[in-house]
Chain A
């Protein structure tokens, strides 16, 4: 009986190491040029990474709404607004995102409107 077999354990460790390496490469690419949220200023083009801390749908009319989310890293938080949509595939509470766009003001909060965004795998560590 193969009760004390270690083979499967080793295989598992190997495959997870491989996965980690590829995630690291992916993360390095996505996180290039990312600054910490505390340093973000009004009316600047920025690239930040963080964790989705809050999600809200702001309805405007029957069919029109915008998706607002709060993206936070260790240093602070920023509002990200996607106009004209209620959901964003793959974006949920706790999702790690990299967003890039122009900062502006929305409801008296520092906001990036319709940024370019990229989902990060959980395994990638956020820089800040």
Chain B
């Protein structure tokens, strides 16, 4: 900076120093909204988009991340089979002879599905969820069925897992049983907040509970086998330890019909949920992704099969009877480990491991639901909001939606796994069937090397899962599956309807966009300022209107109250603004929107005028103040949306501390908060 320059041009300091650098973003003095500050406190600092991490998982970690959902179902699948046989069927001791055959049947289906998914993983190494596979091979509409079924099932995964986790907890601390619904809701809230913060799918969080559960199950099964063979045989839990309802169930003499067996099988089918998790997350694996994903799937399936078989075998040997207040797993652990100090410790360990993996399984739902919803929303089959990444880069809206619906389910069904199970599995098997059929079609279409084997595997998969779907629908229909069977078509209809809406909008907006951009602009510009009172707000709006240099500028007052209008006119003439005409309009029916619409239509009638309506609007900082005032301004803007060449601009004026009796001071504000035209 030179002094001579300043002396020659003392009034224009800018000419001597030049412009300054722009202030850093953190200094831009825009106060953050209260909700943002609250969000930042709860969820942590907002993340920037390039912080989106694509973590690659090694096989052991990937197994922990993806398997929790599948493996955790061993915690309740056996129990549900027994429940169907004993409580619903009332077949008494006969039930225990049927547990193993049913379990084996479920495991056979599991193996078929597992091999089918091996094919999917290879064919779709970049995320091959049922939705994508079905969309690619069977078309967009079947994909919606698959998507909707899966979405419903993810909701149920959360509800079932959280309820079962709560059950594992109250099996240890029986005094917690009356509080199971609040506890389950607490779990949902914790997981939802964790996911909103963005729980990294990092190994440590997942590995410990998953492997602890696997260890707990295998130790328990091993111990059971040891006891049964070398240790002197496993005795059934004596009847005198049971409470009266259990004895009643144990003495049932119902007949085992085919239908009952199918129902029990359908309940056991819940064990297969979560098997698709690996194929959803193939890109998360280290290279070579699909090979690693495949071997992880095989390890997971094998573990699941052995754990399920082991638990069912122990249950049939011990003749455990499902009862409220203590899960079958808990009964088995209790019986196998006995009442020694070590036994008790192992019992508690088993229960905690079970609870943790179930909570984690709920977390899988939270990982998958928002992602699937995002895919569907991107194809315009679900509301657009679901594609938005939130504060911490996760699909917040999806997470909130899932948490809300799951919480409602838990409350309505009282966190009762048995009531939830009939709803479950229909969706999973529907999507299995669709994706396997899709794979079979793909083999027929592409005929890649080895397509015949692939076709055989996926064909068998499609056939089996198709049959199982029908069995589940039929067997569980009256237990509650009808809800899901009813909801899926309705939900599908809704998403298709939604899609038509989006497509129609898109078509209209994209039609002749270039022509619209090159169309001649209108010659004249008329600006009207809506005035209700002479105050700072209106004054500010008039000042702004003058910067627009319109061909015609007038202030318009809609006279709802004759007397007020007269007073206003009088006051107007005393103002320095009086060179601007105040147009007072009668409004006998008090429909302000309608009258404004008339004024605008008159101005635009020549077909050569663009009309801007300026609405002075007080902005209130607090929700309380907002409540005190009506939304006339917004209503007018909405009404004008239908008039061509009518545009609305709000001129904001911030009221800050008016309530505390301090002098109202003007807050620095931008020229306008937003312009809303007709087609935006």
List chain A positions with a Cβ less than 8 A from chain B.
1, 3-4, 8-9, 37-38, 40-43, 53, 70, 72-79, 94, 103-105, 108-110, 122
Q: Which of B24, B286, B299 contacts A38 (CB 8 A)?
A: B24
A42 and B22 contact, CB distance less than 8 A: no
Chain A residue nearest to B18 in the complex (CB)? A42
Interface assignment of B20: CB less than 8 Å from any CB of chain A: yes
Extra contacts, 7 of them, besides A70-B22, A110-B21 (Cβ < 8 A), are: A3-B299, A9-B58, A38-B21, A76-B23, A77-B22, A110-B20, A122-B50
CB distance from A62 to the nearest CB of B (A): 14
A41 to B1, CA, bound (A): 9
A40 and B286 contact, CB distance less than 8 A: no
Contact flags B28-69 to A (C-beta < 8 A → 1, else 0):
000000000000000000000010000000111001000000
A76 to B20, CA, bound (A): 10
In the assembled complex, 21 residue pairs joining A and B whose CB atoms fall closer than 8 Å, in A order, are: A1-B299, A3-B59, A3-B295, A3-B299, A4-B59, A8-B58, A38-B21, A40-B21, A41-B18, A42-B18, A72-B22, A75-B24, A76-B21, A77-B21, A77-B24, A78-B22, A79-B22, A103-B18, A104-B18, A105-B19, A122-B50
**Cβ contacts under 8 Å, B19 to chain A:** 42, 105, 108-110
Contact flags B10-25 to A (C-beta < 8 A → 1, else 0):
0000000111111111
CB distance from B365 to the nearest CB of A (A): 26
A94 and B50 contact, CB distance less than 8 A: yes
**Cβ contacts under 8 Å, B59 to chain A:** 3-4
B18 and A76 contact, CB distance less than 8 A: no
B24 and A110 contact, CB distance less than 8 A: no
CB distance from B157 to the nearest CB of A (A): 26
List chain B positions with a Cβ less than 8 A from chain A.
17-26, 50, 58-60, 63, 286, 295, 299
**Cβ contacts under 8 Å, B295 to chain A:** 1, 3
A122 to B51, CA, bound (A): 12
B18 and A78 contact, CB distance less than 8 A: no
A41-B17, A42-B17 are contacts. A8–B22 as well, Cβ < 8 Å?
no
Chain B residue nearest to A79 in the complex (CB)? B22
**Cβ contacts under 8 Å, A108 to chain B:** 19
CB distance from A38 to the nearest CB of B (A): 6
**Cβ contacts under 8 Å, A103 to chain B:** 18
A37 and B18 contact, CB distance less than 8 A: no
A103 to B20, CA, bound (A): 10
A18 to B60, CA, bound (A): 26
**Interface-centre pick from B19, B20, B23 (highest chain A CB count, 10 A):** B19
A125 to B58, CA, bound (A): 29
A76 and B17 contact, CB distance less than 8 A: no
CB distance from A49 to the nearest CB of B (A): 14
Query: Which 8 A-B pairs rank lowest in CB-CB distance, beginning with the nearest?
Result: A42-B18, A77-B22, A76-B21, A110-B19, A76-B24, A3-B59, A37-B21, A40-B21
**Cβ contacts under 8 Å, B50 to chain A:** 94, 122
B22 and A74 contact, CB distance less than 8 A: no
**Cβ contacts under 8 Å, A43 to chain B:** 18
Chain A residue nearest to B1 in the complex (CB)? A41
Q: Which of B18, B20, B25 contacts A72 (CB 8 A)?
A: B25
B18 and A77 contact, CB distance less than 8 A: no
A1-B295, A3-B299 are contacts. A72–B24 as well, Cβ < 8 Å?
yes
A9 to B299, CA, bound (A): 20
CB distance from A61 to the nearest CB of B (A): 17
**Cβ contacts under 8 Å, B63 to chain A:** 3
